[in-house]
């Protein structure tokens, strides 16, 4: 009695509902009975004998009922009604408190309840929308269809329909040409309802089952009447529902394809930009045009440091990101059953790695060339300054010598004067011979400058040539003067032995002092403490000779003093200076004082250089201490990452979290690298070219650091791809654990990949028939073609789980997409642009139109498109 009581309570709550139900149910029954040429006018009267009731059930169920009884007696009518009720019950409907006697007696409430039961079973129960059925399924269908329309919010089957907009929205959604929805007004419900009822009756073959005034005039329209009428719309548009499902499948497939194409375009652009940057950078690094000055070469070195610090690091990140994007794209293509992505020629990851390797080779060679050039220019500057000093000293010495050698003073001189001139000339020859070594040094330095390609070699050569020519001229003049003096020497007898002795001893001593001054002022260049200590030792040895030199000076000065003493004693008036030498006691004392001044200056210069070399040694030790810690640290981290990539500790998410934390700790180590870069820059600024305290160079550590960052990023990407594969394929954590265990068991060398024979052994252990017979070899070759499309001879763990998941899961296929297009095309072998635009979203419809080839079958029409070849191309079975 529960259903009867509910039915009575509904009708008592609002008597207008009975009127609405009677009209709706009558119209619904007539919409089915008209196919048999029968109609009803009074629902309780026309069903009393059971004949029209049985006919109605036969029409809507499509089945034959037992033959009715044609008698007029009450028992005949009851029997007919019972046959109808038994048929309803046979369809799984539980009838509560509805008996044949009430129907035969014309009980209106029982008759309406019976008709509602029939409607619910045959018109509503089989409705199914996204795992919901009957009333909930019908309501969800209405909500989905009317969602895009303003002022429509379907929440039930009573007041949500009072303004008529929901009915109009349902019609407009499926047949937009029948209703101008934008002209409807929410405040005019009667017009809205009548418009929907009339359009449905005229164009959709749905009879008018409701009265607009009754619905508007009722506080809450009857839910069963509304549901009955709305179910007619659902069945009328059920064909469109299939098309929508097919369109959704196509949209899903096309969305995947469009996303993959976008990723491919991004890869191509990023690869092209990176290769273009490498192409522009390599010629700059390969340029070996030397500069003329140290400042210009220092600027080149600074530009190279800017490249290392500023320009290259972002490109390292781009290269790493490019590899990650490529791996992610390939994973998505495998998961969506698409062919692997093959970049344009010259833009493969291997091509980029090759170009990058060439870049780093040019980079290393460029740095070595820069440092060698700086050493060469430093050496050239030192030699050029040494050449200028020696040339200046020599030119100062030769100044006036030609005039002295060409004078004719011996023609009018006395015998003693001639002898004096001869002795003086002998002293000059001794001095000239002493200067021969300096001239040879000047020529040797000029030759070395030429060999080292000194930029100002022409001026050096010109000056050297002038000195050599002048030296040759001095030699000729000296020889000529000696010959002249010797011709007259026989007439000269007296000679002042003291002057002669003075001249002979003063000349070498003077030359020694000049050499000492030259050495004390000579520039020096050293590269380590040992070399400067060697110079300091040599200088100390020089200082130890000074007492003996001072004795020699005093002895020479004593000769001059003896001359003065003899002259005074004998009353001899000396005519001018010593005729045998131009070296005066005053010049000896002056040069001696100069030597005494230069010695402490040399001491200071050597001590300053010693301090600089000690500072350089400190920089070497400082760099070495850091490098000797960082180098092993990087190697340890690389080994740890390798172990993490093949070990299984926790879920993939746990491993990913652990790797990201590990990556963060590595990134946090970056300040140590930056500090080491700073130490390295100080070493280069100090022009330190070797370091005996460590075997690590900054270049090795940079490469190791970049490899460490790339390895941790690549390992994280592999775990992310495994998660993506697991989620897309529905693989459990236990299955992944089993896959990893099998993979690690056969990865004997712990390389992270399975060689072909290892992979074959793994397949055999899993039950695959890949033995050494002909059939097994063919099967193994097929599987290798799947997991190793590039024929590298090795199988990664990602490819392994892709293969294992593909063996146990299902994916979209080309045949499924073709079947979906066939539904949209109305079972035709082609589809038109109009049909695509009607069933698919605009962007995906245009995507299909732009890529579908014209259909060329015998049943082709104008504008026909070939959806079959398009569908196979999506899965790599033909060209798109």
For the segment 74-126, what is each residue's pLDDT rounded down to a tens digit?
888 888 888 888 888 888 877 777 888 888 888 888 888 888 888 888 878 77
Is the distance from CB of 250 to CB of 824 less than 8 angstroms? yes
H or E stretch at 753:
strand 753-755
Sign of CA dihedral 340, 344, 345, 349: negative
Q: Is the pLDDT of residue 652 over 80?
A: no
DSSP string, 650-712: S-HHHHHHHHHHHHHHHHHTHHHHHHHHHHHHHHHHTT----TT-S--HHHHHHHHHHHHHHH
Percent of the chain with pLDDT over 70: 90
pLDDT reported for residue 812: 62
Give the C-alpha separation, 799 to 789, whole Å.
10
| Predicted model pTM | 0.40
pLDDT reported for residue 864: 92
Q: Is the pLDDT of residue 434 over 70?
A: yes
Q: Using H for helix, E for strand and C for coil, what is the string for 804-836?
A: HHHHHCCCCCHHHHHHHHHHHCCCCCCECHHHH
Is the distance from CB of 425 to CB of 471 less than 8 angstroms? no
Which of 683, 636, 692, 688 shows the shortest CA–CA distance to 662?
A: 636
Note the helical H segments in 571-584. Answer: none
pLDDT reported for residue 524: 76
Would you place residue 413 in the very low, low, confident or very high pLDDT band (cuts 50, 70, 90)? low
Averaged over 37-63, what is the pLDDT? 83
Q: Is the pLDDT of residue 6 over 60?
A: no
pLDDT reported for residue 190: 92
Is the distance from CB of 580 to CB of 503 less than 8 angstroms? yes
Is the distance from CB of 170 to CB of 147 less than 8 angstroms? no
Averaged over 651-669, what is the pLDDT? 85
Tally of helices (H runs) and strands (E runs) in the chain: 34, 6
Which of 224, 228, 225, 219 shows the shortest CA–CA distance to 14?
A: 219
Task: Return the biggest CA–CA distance within the chain.
Answer: 194
Averaged over 782-807, what is the pLDDT? 77
Name the burial class of residue 409, with classes exposed (0-12), middle (13-18) and buried (19+) by CB atoms within 10 angstroms of its CB: exposed
Is the distance from CB of 850 to CB of 816 less than 8 angstroms? no
Min mean pLDDT across 311-320, 565-574, 689-698, 764-773 is at 565-574
Averaged over 792-819, what is the pLDDT? 73
pLDDT reported for residue 442: 84
Q: Higher confidence at residue 650 or residue 20?
A: 20
pLDDT reported for residue 154: 93
pLDDT reported for residue 170: 92
Averaged over 656-677, what is the pLDDT? 88
Torsion region of 205: left, alpha or beta (phi above 0 gives left; psi -120 to 50 gives alpha): left
CA distances for 200 relative to 148, 170, 435, angstroms: 21, 10, 126
Is the distance from CB of 127 to CB of 137 less than 8 angstroms? yes
pLDDT reported for residue 671: 93
Percent of the chain with pLDDT over 90: 9
Residues 6+ apart with CB under 8 A from 511: 431, 434, 435
Averaged over 220-226, what is the pLDDT? 88
Give the C-alpha separation, 604 to 645, whole Å.
61
Q: Within a 10 A sphere around the Cβ of 838, how many other Cβ atoms? A: 13
For the segment 829-852, what is each residue's pLDDT rounded down to a tens digit?
999 998 888 888 888 889 999 989
Sign of CA dihedral 37, 40, 45, 51: positive
Give the C-alpha separation, 559 to 504, whole Å.
11
Is the distance from CB of 711 to CB of 640 less than 8 angstroms? no
pLDDT reported for residue 166: 93
Q: Is the pLDDT of residue 7 over 60?
A: no
């009922």: which residue's tokens?
65
pLDDT reported for residue 5: 36
Sign of CA dihedral 690, 696, 698, 700: positive
Would you place residue 163 in the very low, low, confident or very high pLDDT band (cuts 50, 70, 90)? very high
CA distances for 757 relative to 2, 296, 584, 748, angstroms: 73, 59, 98, 11
pLDDT reported for residue 840: 86
pLDDT reported for residue 172: 92
Q: Higher confidence at residue 770 or residue 810?
A: 770
Residues 6+ apart with CB under 8 A from 556: 502, 505, 506, 509, 585, 588
Mean pLDDT (the chain) is: 82
Q: Is the pLDDT of residue 638 over 70?
A: yes
Structure tokens at 561: 């003093």
User: What are φ and ψ of residue 129, in 5° steps?
Assistant: -135, 110
pLDDT reported for residue 410: 65
pLDDT reported for residue 3: 37
Give the C-alpha separation, 117 to 149, whole Å.
32
CA atoms within 13 A on the CB side of 689: 14
> How many degrees, rounded to 5, is the angle at CA 816 between CA 815 and CA 818?
65
Which of 202, 2, 225 shows the shortest CA–CA distance to 124?
A: 225
Gyration radius of the chain over CA positions: 55
Is the distance from CB of 377 to CB of 449 less than 8 angstroms? no
Q: Within a 10 A sphere around the Cβ of 242, how many other Cβ atoms? A: 12
Distance linking the first and last C-alpha atoms of the chain: 66
pLDDT reported for residue 495: 39
Structure tokens at 523: 């520039």
Residues 6+ apart with CB under 8 A from 810: none
């Amino acid at each position: 009695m529960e259903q009867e009581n509910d039915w009575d309570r509904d009708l008592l709550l609002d008597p207008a509902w009975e009127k609405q139900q009677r009209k709706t149910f009558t119209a619904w029954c007539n919409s089915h009975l008209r196919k048999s040429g029968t109609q009803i006018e009074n629902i309780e009267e026309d069903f009393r004998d059971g004949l029209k009731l049985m006919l109605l059930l036969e029409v809507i169920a499509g089945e034959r009922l037992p033959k009715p009884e044609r008698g007029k007696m009450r028992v005949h009518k009851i029997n007919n009604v019972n046959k109808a009720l038994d048929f309803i019950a046979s369809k799984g409907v539980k009838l509560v408190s509805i008996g044949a006697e009430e129907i035969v007696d014309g009980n209106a409430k029982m008759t309406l309840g019976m008709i509602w039961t029939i409607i619910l079973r045959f018109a509503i129960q089989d409705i199914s929308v996204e795992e919901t059925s009957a009333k909930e399924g019908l309501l969800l269908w209405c909500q989905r269809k009317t969602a895009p329309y303003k002022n429509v919010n379907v929440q039930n089957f009573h007041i949500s329909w009072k303004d008529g907009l929901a009915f109009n929205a349902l019609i407009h959604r499926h047949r937009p040409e029948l209703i101008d929805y934008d002209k409807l007004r929410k405040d005019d419900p009667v017009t809205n309802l009548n418009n929907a009822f009339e359009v449905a009756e005229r164009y959709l073959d749905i009879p008018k089952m409701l009265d607009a005034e009754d619905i508007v005039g009722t506080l809450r329209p009857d839910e069963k009447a509304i549901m009955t009428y709305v179910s007619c719309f659902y069945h009328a548009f059920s064909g469109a529902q299939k098309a929508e499902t097919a369109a959704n499948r196509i949209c899903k497939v096309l969305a995947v394809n469009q996303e993959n194409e976008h990723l491919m375009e991004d890869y191509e652009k990023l690869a092209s930009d990176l290769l273009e940057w490498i192409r522009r950078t390599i010629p700059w690094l390969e340029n070996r045009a030397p500069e003329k000055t140290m400042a210009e070469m220092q600027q080149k070195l600074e530009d190279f440091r800017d490249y290392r610090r500023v320009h290259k690091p972002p490109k390292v990140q781009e290269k790493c990101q490019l590899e990650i994007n490529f791996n992610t794209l390939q994973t998505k293509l495998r998961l969506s059953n698409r062919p692997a992505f093959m970049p344009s020629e010259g833009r493969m990851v291997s091509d980029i790695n090759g170009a990058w390797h060439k870049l780093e080779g040019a980079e290393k060679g460029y740095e070595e060339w820069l440092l060698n050039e700086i050493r060469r220019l430093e050496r050239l500057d030192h030699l050029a300054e040494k050449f200028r000093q020696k040339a200046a000293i020599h030119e100062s010495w030769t100044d006036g010598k030609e005039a002295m050698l060409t004078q004719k003073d011996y023609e009018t001189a006395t015998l003693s004067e001639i002898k004096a001139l001869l002795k003086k000339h002998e002293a000059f020859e001794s001095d000239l011979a002493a200067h021969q070594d300096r001239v040879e040094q000047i020529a040797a330095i000029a030759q070395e400058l030429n060999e080292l390609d000194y930029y100002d070699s022409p001026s050096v050569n010109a000056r050297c040539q002038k000195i050599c020519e002048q030296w040759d001229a001095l030699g000729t003049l000296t020889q000529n003067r000696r010959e002249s003096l010797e011709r007259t020497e026989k007439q000269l007898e007296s000679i002042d032995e003291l002057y002669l002795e003075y001249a002979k001893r003063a000349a070498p001593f003077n030359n020694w002092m000049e050499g000492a001054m030259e050495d004390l002022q000579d520039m020096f260049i050293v590269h380590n403490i040992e070399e400067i200590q060697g110079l300091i030792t040599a200088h100390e040895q020089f200082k130890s000779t000074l007492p003996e030199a001072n004795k020699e000076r005093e002895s020479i000065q004593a000769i001059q003093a003896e001359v003065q003493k003899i002259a005074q004693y004998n009353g001899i008036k000396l005519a001018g200076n010593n005729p045998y030498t131009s070296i005066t006691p005053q010049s000896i004392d002056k040069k001696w004082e100069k030597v005494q001044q230069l010695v402490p200056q040399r001491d200071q210069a050597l001590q300053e250089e010693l301090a600089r070399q000690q500072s350089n040694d400190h920089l070497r030790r400082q760099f070495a201490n850091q490098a000797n810690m960082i180098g092993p640290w990087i190697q340890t981290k690389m080994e740890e990452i390798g172990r993490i990539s093949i070990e299984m500790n926790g879920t993939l998410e746990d491993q990913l979290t652990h790797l990201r934390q590990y990556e963060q700790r590595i990134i946090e180590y970056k300040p140590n690298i930056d500090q080491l870069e700073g130490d390295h820059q100080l070493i280069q600024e100090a022009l330190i070219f070797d370091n005996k305290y460590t075997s690590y160079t900054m270049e090795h550590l940079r490469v190791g650091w970049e490899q460490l960052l790339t390895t941790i990023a690549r390992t994280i990407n592999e775990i992310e791809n495994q998660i993506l594969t697991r989620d897309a394929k529905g693989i459990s954590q236990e299955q992944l654990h089993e896959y990893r265990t099998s993979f690690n068991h056969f990865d004997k060398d712990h390389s992270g990949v399975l060689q072909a024979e290892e992979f074959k052994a793994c397949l055999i252990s899993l039950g695959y028939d890949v033995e050494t017979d002909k059939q097994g070899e063919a099967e193994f070759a097929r599987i290798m073609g799947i997991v190793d499309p590039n024929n590298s001879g090795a199988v990664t763990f990602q490819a392994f789980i892709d293969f294992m998941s593909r063996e146990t899961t299902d994916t979209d296929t080309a045949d499924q997409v073709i079947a979906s297009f066939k539904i949209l095309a109305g079972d035709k072998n082609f589809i038109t642009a109009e049909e695509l635009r009607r069933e698919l979203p605009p962007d995906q419809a245009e995507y299909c139109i732009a890529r579908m080839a014209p259909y060329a079958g015998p049943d082709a029409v104008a504008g026909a498109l070939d959806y079959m070849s398009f569908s196979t191309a999506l899965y790599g079975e033909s060209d798109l």
